Chain A
Amino acid sequence: MANTVISRTANCQFKRSRSIPNRAALWLVACFLLQFGCQALAQTAVPAQPTDQNEFLRLEVKPVSGGGELITIQAKVEDGRDSAPLWIPMVSVLRDTLGDSNPDNDRLRYLWALSYTRPTFWRRLTGAVPFLYTHAVKNPKPAKNPPPLIDLATVDQGVWEKLAWSALQAILLDPYGTPVRASTRAYRQNITDYRQSQIIQALSLLSLYQESGQPRAFTGGELKEIQARLLLTDKTFGGLVNQRKLPRFYEKENTKARDERGHNWELLRQQAEANNLIFEPLLMPDGSATHALLWIDKAELQSGAAARFDGRFLNFSNPWTDHRLQTWRGYSERRFFDTDQRPANPETPGATEVELIPLALYGLDNPKIPALLVDFRDGGNPRRREMSRRVLQDVTRNVLALSQFGDLPYFMGRSTLNFVTGKRGMDFNQPSRLKTYAQLKLLLSLNASLEPELRSGIRDRAGLVSLNPLESGDEAERRLAQDQYTALLNYAANPDGLPARVARDRRTEMVKLEHGQPARFMFRLANVLSLGRYTHSEKETADLNERLDVARQMAFHTNFLQEVAHSGLHPGKRPFSLAASPRLDVVWDLSEIRSSLRFLAEHGEAAGSKAATATAQIFSRTGDDDVRRDCLATLSQINNKKARTELTRIAQQPNLAQSWRDLTSLYLGGRRSTDPTLSSGTVSTPGQPDQH
């Protein structure tokens, strides 16, 4: 087995799009095969290749037998020492291709954060100890078959499992008293947080990858879908959200995150300015500032030129009156600033040298206020703030068994506290800084500009913020990622490993083609009641791949046509009036629409009611005769009641040109679209085939 490294130097783009011409696809396949044949299998972390110096992420694509590919994003990790940077595998995604080159029937399946593993028994045990907010067991063990973080194709399953667990907790475990309640809830919380922390790291990496301009192994839509699915994991019913809504959800969350980042950047800069401190944004390799450091000028400190100190939002003690800083023996840096106060080289004319002492480090991707992650004078400060919400929650819910839904005074008190601390931006009882901490770990790995001593100082102190006994340190996670990647590759290479799992998943996918709603409901129920242990699968058949191919393509084209049918309207909203439904011709490439309609027509028996509805909507929203004709032909081929209803509705539209109504009536009368008399000629009055 060979691997394929896609990098800038390889000049090989895996751009997945419906519009890729076949020739280009063939070229890509050829390129892939060439790489496949030429390069040796890398079973461990790939050492740095002689690549672009600015490159910080790269892709590795490995075929999986049975029709799939494992796409891995590797990051160039800097440890700040003299040694060369390492390429560490961070995230892998399995794409089930059904063994062909048609992107329309591909399906994204598993996503692995390679530093995520199943906790060992001892780790689980520490996770179940209430109020244990520290790492008790140092080194995690790599799993033989690394557990995926999420199965992108069956995200709804997670919702039901979560609900089942909650019910189990409330009905069976909570009544056993405080010790059982506290420990089981603590365990579940830690498990959830651990997974969430890994999800955030994966998200950060995918976001960096998206911004990096690296060769694409995912289409823009796929990337949005993956990220949206990951973002929705922290919402109870997130797995049930309609796939069509995902891009918009991702875009809105992205906007919100950037808004928060910008606000925090500016808030911190202004607070630094007001308190005469030095503000230094820390950049991810793509140039985005996700964290910031605050420094103090040692000379000013010693000269006693203390400014008034306003600690609001900074959340550390007054440095101007802190005697420890007067005799500071910790880390400091000498830097130069030019006359415009820009960081400068020593050779810059007029540059002045300043010795700076670091005070604090903040995460900027945080709601409302910058999240204090490191206080260089008081390591426990961020930790105490982080603990405040968790302790409140653990005491009230796990020990006192108070619930916001069942205890009105508690509900009122808690809501007031949440409102006041939230509105005022007090760093107490705030949402967890899990996200910024996870990002910081990534930043420390990828940012080469930090001095090694400072980097390790930050790493050590920031680790204190993590309250989860299941979490591991940076070094351990890095080793784990390398080991687990090796394990994953072995798993992928083993016919009884990943390929077998993919085959089983396909058989599971067949359930909806074989069974009706009631049977599927029962299978789902069995799955939920067994807490996910039982999943029904169909038997392997010779035509399984063929049937799946049609089903997946049908889903793809139906989704596309639904997107077309709803486009041009205010996103996320339905048309409230036909008069205000803009014509699709302005917005879409009609040949793409026709291509999808033709697929639906060719496989009409497999099309569902959604496809029929979308087709009818497209008919009403286009002025193009060919597309309209295709719509009617498609509706005539779709073998369900909905399609017939739509055809009837069209035939009865009084303001539709007579020729279109006649044609529709012919279809309703049993004529097939394959009838040559129906497939040519102009059926509308020239120029105005619209309803009016």
Chain B
Amino acid sequence: MLYATLVCSPARLITASSIFSKTFLFALAIGIVFLSSPSLLDAQTTRLVVLKIDGLPNDTVEKFVQERDPQTGKSQLPWIDHIFYQGGTRLANFYVRGVSLSGPSWSMLDTGQHLQIKGNVEFDRYTLHVYDYLNLIPFFLKGASGGQVDMVGVQVLDSLGIPLLLDAWPQPERYSGFSIYQRGPRYLTFSNALQNRFKRPPRELFDEWTMGLELRSLISDELIKELILKLQDPQIHYLDLVLQDFDHLAHSNADRASQLRVLKELDAVIGQVWTAIQNTPEAPETALVMVSDHGINSTEKIYSQGFNLVKLLGSAAGGGHHVTTKRRLLLDYAIKGLNPFYYFITTNTPDSYYLKGQSDEYPTALLDFDGNERAAIHLRDSDLNLLQLLLLRLREKYIAEPVRRALTQAFFDTLGRRRHEWASNAEVMKVELGALHRVIEKQSELWKARPRKFTAAELRLGRDDDLNRIGARLKQWQAQERDYNEYLRSVNSLLALKPVGFDPAKLRIGDVIPRQAMGENNTVYQLQNYVVGFTAKGPLLDERGELDLERSLLRVNYFSLLQNITVRNNVQREVSHRPVDFVATTVPVEALRGYFRDLDEAEKDAVWIYGGPNQQALIFARRDAAGQLSFLYHPVRELVQAADGSIHLEATSWQSGLPLKVFEDPDLAIPAGDKEQWLSQWHTDVEWLRALHHTRYSNGLVGVYEVLGHQQALNQIAETMSDEQLLRRLARRVRRLTDTDLVVVANDHWNFDARGFNPGGNHGSFLRVSTHSTWMLAGGSHTGIQRGAVIAEPYDSLSFVPTMLALTGKLGHDMSLSSEIKEKGFGPFPGRIVKELISR
């Protein structure tokens, strides 16, 4: 009853004139609320203020909070100390699940669902469409014309039907700052920011002009101000603010003084927000939350060293690829780099074996180096390379007939080997695109009939944005339909080729080998034997007169190539001369059943981690009826896939030096007994997290599967599927098309940023220093948030949204959803609620 009173605004209830006469109604209301919202017991927080701090490492905050400022005698971060350490609750072991990178990490923190977005940039393998999740400039510019309403990441999540935390509140009840998962552009902030910047005493302006204008903080200052003003509005129940200064600085500066300066500024902002909250009548029911998306690997006196994978892949040894990236190399030194719309950059290589000068049409590698401590690589389907090589050779005028025959045979053999897979994918996609076409037609009608004017009330409810969202989605779908159809046209033309009447000279390569496409993902076999060109001797025939593919083709094994990279200049004692820690990809579990028992319920794909020929591991996953994930780690060596898909490997025992360095880690926390036995068993993600979180790689075992694992099959289409279902299915397929071939993880203090330099520090890896993040809460007396509490139990990003929803009474302790958020599309959450933070 007490809780219900709080929810229903105590002031209004107390001032009711005839409480007694309304007892019955009141009791009825309570009953209804109890029935409709099973989480009422937690419904003490009516307002949530979330400060999202980019890249704030827990250990750095801890260090500075504990340190005294010699000038004041107080903590170096007095407000964090006062609000969260003394007056709130902090999670001492909060980790990023998956990759420690803003795009993916915020997507999980904002949705509470498993990773759908796995990099700061993603590429569609069929169309090379770029999902540039971090670029706010096109969003605001397109938004001005209504061409885009939400950030790219939000569009992707919407297409999958995954709501954001802020969607739990209606638009008039929420205020959100600028973020990479932003709904609706807001332009008033810009003009206000400019006005307010110059609305200051002339002396201060003069000083600032003399010392250098601080334009970088222009927008963030305004957003802080907006947030504080919005706190005065009792109708607003959810507010968030993203602050990126620390992450930005730590990439450049590892020195203590610079980092402390920025943290002190952050601390001051937290003090302002907290003070503003305390000055509102809603203070007792308001919770202030500070959360971060990752840590950062930044150590004073050590420069983080970059390794340029673009150059490696473009080199002859790396395969001579034209490499596409989202940003220009050495962006800060390029005049063209000023164009914010340029997010498809192909670096032309002079070392290409067969595509010289064709970088625009045929880039063969896509590289996401943004993430710095990890890179993701797409390589064009090796068989497309082979087919193009054979076609190019067959188109030559002077070619001996036996060679022509052998090349033709090899061409159709290769095509035949892939025909079923490509044809079935094309067929399934055609059905889905058919549904898309029908939906586009309907949507077009809707769009044409849209109202042009809105009332003030409608604008407040965001009806204009809702409508523009339809238009934006329509454009997106139309582009998708066009691009995929174009790809399928090429694939179908290729599949239509027959030996009879085959005349390569009459073919246009671009008609049958899809331009600007990577095709299907490569298998482990292909990545170990990736075709990059003919040898200098050209096509060689075997004794049967067939093309000797082994001797004729230049191939690259990308696992050993990447793993064996060394540098010449090794000038920092703490930094290895090997930039790459390990390379990871997926392998089909089906091919591994012969080697391991207990894989009956395992998910379709396992993750293979390659740390060298003798340092390898396989991570299997399975899901129980309740959806709880469990993992199994198997050390292996010499894993090789044959052309027929069979896998050969040697299972080994647990030992030091295996990927993720679990066995030898002194901080491994497992029950007393046989360590090897425990490690060789299936354990739930929570059990692994508890065992591993203090180790060098923290929850890397769970994280690496989160990044690479596939959890749903998409090959079958039931006959009764509706267009809506087909569309959702297409959305999932489109997601799968962004899956990369390889994830490359950097060694400690290494990074792959080729856009510029990040000597201060980086993140993106599974190292604890990069994944150990910050989550602290404090609240008014009615929120029930504990004071001065430290939660030692480890949690990961999946816990954030359910905990926030539980705190605000929208989710029950038993994970049951209130009808309110169920209607808004929220589904079951895989993460745990942090129950310890509520005092009972």
Residue numbers of A with Cβ under 8 A of B are 17, 19, 220-221, 232, 235-238, 240-242, 245, 249, 251-252, 254-255, 258-259, 262-263, 265-267, 269-270, 272-274, 276, 278-281, 287, 340-343, 368, 420, 423-425, 567-574, 576-577, 579-583, 586-589, 592, 692
Q: A240-B210, A341-B577 are in contact. Are A568 and B268 (CB under 8 A)?
A: yes
| Nearest residue, chain B, Cβ from A692 | B279
B408 at the binding interface (Cβ < 8 Å):
no
**What 10 new A-B contacts, CB under 8 Å, besides A259-B253, A266-B305, A582-B272?**
A242-B203, A255-B253, A255-B261, A258-B255, A266-B303, A266-B306, A266-B757, A424-B335, A570-B265, A576-B228
| Nearest residue, chain A, Cβ from B228 | A580
Q: A249-B211, A252-B212 are in contact. Are A279 and B569 (CB under 8 A)?
A: yes
Contacts of A568 in B (CB 8 A): 78-79, 268, 271-272
Contact A258 B258 (CB under 8 A): yes
Partner of A570 from B206, B208, B269 at Cβ < 8 Å? B269
Partner of B228 from A274, A567, A579 at Cβ < 8 Å? A579
Counting chain B residues whose Cβ lies within 8 A of the other chain, the interface size class is: 35 or more
| Nearest residue, chain B, Cβ from A251 | B261
Contacts of A232 in B (CB 8 A): 210-211
Query: What separation, in Å, do the CA atoms of A341 and B565 have in the docked complex?
Result: 13
A-B contact pairs, 21 of them (CB 8 A): A17-B71, A19-B70, A235-B210, A240-B206, A242-B203, A252-B261, A259-B252, A262-B253, A262-B303, A262-B759, A267-B757, A342-B577, A568-B78, A568-B268, A570-B221, A571-B265, A577-B276, A580-B276, A582-B79, A586-B74, A587-B271
B274 at the binding interface (Cβ < 8 Å):
yes
Contact B72 A588 (CB under 8 A): yes
Residue numbers of B with Cβ under 8 A of A are 70-74, 78-79, 82, 196, 200-201, 203-204, 206-208, 210-212, 214, 217, 221, 224-225, 228-229, 231-232, 249, 252-255, 257-258, 261, 264-265, 268-269, 271-276, 279, 301, 303-306, 308, 311, 332-335, 338, 566-571, 573, 576-577, 756-757, 759-760
Contacts of B78 in A (CB 8 A): 568, 586-587
Q: Which of B79, B210, B338 has most chain A Cβ within 10 Å?
A: B210
Q: A420-B335, A425-B333 are in contact. Are A265 and B569 (CB under 8 A)?
A: no
Give the Cβ gap from B719 to chain A, nearest Cβ, in Å.
57
Contacts of A255 in B (CB 8 A): 249, 253, 255, 257-258, 261
| Nearest residue, chain A, Cβ from B760 | A262
A-B interface contact total, Cβ < 8 Å: 181
Give the Cβ gap from B477 to chain A, nearest Cβ, in Å.
39
Contact B70 A220 (CB under 8 A): yes
Contact B305 A237 (CB under 8 A): no
Contacts of B231 in A (CB 8 A): 579
Query: What separation, in Å, do the CA atoms of A518 and B621 have in the docked complex?
Result: 83
Q: A220-B70, A582-B268 are in contact. Are A273 and B567 (CB under 8 A)?
A: yes
The list of the 5 closest CB pairs from A to B, nearest first, reads: A262-B759, A582-B271, A341-B570, A255-B258, A266-B757
Contacts of B759 in A (CB 8 A): 262-263, 265-266
Contacts of A265 in B (CB 8 A): 303, 759
Give the Cβ gap from A160 to chain B, nearest Cβ, in Å.
15
Contact A272 B569 (CB under 8 A): yes
Query: What separation, in Å, do the CA atoms of A692 and B278 have in the docked complex?
Result: 10
Give the Cβ gap from A257 to chain B, nearest Cβ, in Å.
10
Contact A589 B72 (CB under 8 A): yes
Query: What separation, in Å, do the CA atoms of A274 and B211 have in the docked complex?
Result: 38
Query: What separation, in Å, do the CA atoms of A242 and B209 have in the docked complex?
Result: 12
Contact A569 B275 (CB under 8 A): no
Contact B74 A270 (CB under 8 A): no
Query: What separation, in Å, do the CA atoms of A221 and B757 have in the docked complex?
Result: 32
Query: What separation, in Å, do the CA atoms of A592 and B269 have in the docked complex?
Result: 24
Contact A270 B275 (CB under 8 A): no
Contact B268 A589 (CB under 8 A): no
Contacts of B196 in A (CB 8 A): 576
Query: What separation, in Å, do the CA atoms of A588 and B78 have in the docked complex?
Result: 9
Contact A262 B252 (CB under 8 A): yes
Contacts of A281 in B (CB 8 A): 571
Give the Cβ gap from A687 to chain B, nearest Cβ, in Å.
13
Contact A583 B275 (CB under 8 A): yes
Partner of B757 from A235, A241, A262, A274 at Cβ < 8 Å? A262
Contacts of B332 in A (CB 8 A): 368
Contact B276 A571 (CB under 8 A): no
Partner of B566 from A19, A241, A242, A341 at Cβ < 8 Å? A341
Contact A577 B229 (CB under 8 A): yes
Contacts of A571 in B (CB 8 A): 264-265, 268
Partner of A263 from B204, B252, B261 at Cβ < 8 Å? B252
Query: What separation, in Å, do the CA atoms of A567 and B78 have in the docked complex?
Result: 11
| Nearest residue, chain A, Cβ from B274 | A582
Contacts of B279 in A (CB 8 A): 579, 692
| Nearest residue, chain B, Cβ from A690 | B279
Partner of A582 from B204, B275, B301 at Cβ < 8 Å? B275
Contacts of A269 in B (CB 8 A): 305, 569, 571
Q: Which of B200, B252, B272 has most chain A Cβ within 10 Å?
A: B272
Contacts of B272 in A (CB 8 A): 568-570, 580-582
Give the Cβ gap from B386 to chain A, nearest Cβ, in Å.
29
Give the Cβ gap from A274 to chain B, nearest Cβ, in Å.
7
Contact B570 A569 (CB under 8 A): no
Contacts of A569 in B (CB 8 A): 268, 272
Contact A424 B333 (CB under 8 A): yes
Query: What separation, in Å, do the CA atoms of A424 and B336 have in the docked complex?
Result: 10
Contact B275 A581 (CB under 8 A): yes
| Nearest residue, chain B, Cβ from A579 | B279
Contact A586 B82 (CB under 8 A): yes
Contacts of B261 in A (CB 8 A): 251-252, 255
Query: What separation, in Å, do the CA atoms of A615 and B458 have in the docked complex?
Result: 48
Query: What separation, in Å, do the CA atoms of A54 and B463 have in the docked complex?
Result: 70
| Nearest residue, chain B, Cβ from A263 | B757
Query: What separation, in Å, do the CA atoms of A309 and B518 have in the docked complex?
Result: 32
Contact A573 B221 (CB under 8 A): yes
Contact A341 B253 (CB under 8 A): no
Query: What separation, in Å, do the CA atoms of A221 and B231 have in the docked complex?
Result: 37
Contacts of A272 in B (CB 8 A): 569
Give the Cβ gap from A423 to chain B, nearest Cβ, in Å.
5
Q: Which of B212, B275, B306 has most chain A Cβ within 10 Å?
A: B275
Query: What separation, in Å, do the CA atoms of A555 and B168 have in the docked complex?
Result: 54
Contacts of B257 in A (CB 8 A): 251, 254-255
Query: What separation, in Å, do the CA atoms of A221 and B72 have in the docked complex?
Result: 13
Q: A240-B206, A270-B308, A572-B214 are in contact. Are A589 and B271 (CB under 8 A)?
A: no
Q: A241-B211, A267-B757, A340-B577 are in contact. Are A19 and B73 (CB under 8 A)?
A: yes
| Nearest residue, chain A, Cβ from B77 | A587
Give the Cβ gap from B76 to chain A, nearest Cβ, in Å.
11
Q: A269-B569, A279-B569, A587-B72 are in contact. Are A254 and B258 (CB under 8 A)?
A: yes
Q: A258-B253, A569-B272, A587-B72 are in contact. Are A237 and B577 (CB under 8 A)?
A: no
Contact B335 A423 (CB under 8 A): yes
Q: A255-B258, A570-B221 are in contact. Are A589 and B74 (CB under 8 A)?
A: yes
Query: What separation, in Å, do the CA atoms of A462 and B712 have in the docked complex?
Result: 65
Give the Cβ gap from B273 to chain A, nearest Cβ, in Å.
8
Contacts of A254 in B (CB 8 A): 257-258
Contacts of A266 in B (CB 8 A): 303-306, 757, 759
Contacts of A341 in B (CB 8 A): 566-570, 577
Query: What separation, in Å, do the CA atoms of A263 and B330 have in the docked complex?
Result: 11
Contact B74 A587 (CB under 8 A): yes
Contact A17 B70 (CB under 8 A): yes
Query: What separation, in Å, do the CA atoms of A258 and B262 have in the docked complex?
Result: 14
Give the Cβ gap from B668 to chain A, nearest Cβ, in Å.
27
Contacts of B570 in A (CB 8 A): 340-342
Contacts of A274 in B (CB 8 A): 308, 311
Give the Cβ gap from A373 to chain B, nearest Cβ, in Å.
19
Contact A276 B249 (CB under 8 A): no
| Nearest residue, chain B, Cβ from A17 | B70
Query: What separation, in Å, do the CA atoms of A258 and B637 have in the docked complex?
Result: 44
Give the Cβ gap from A138 to chain B, nearest Cβ, in Å.
38
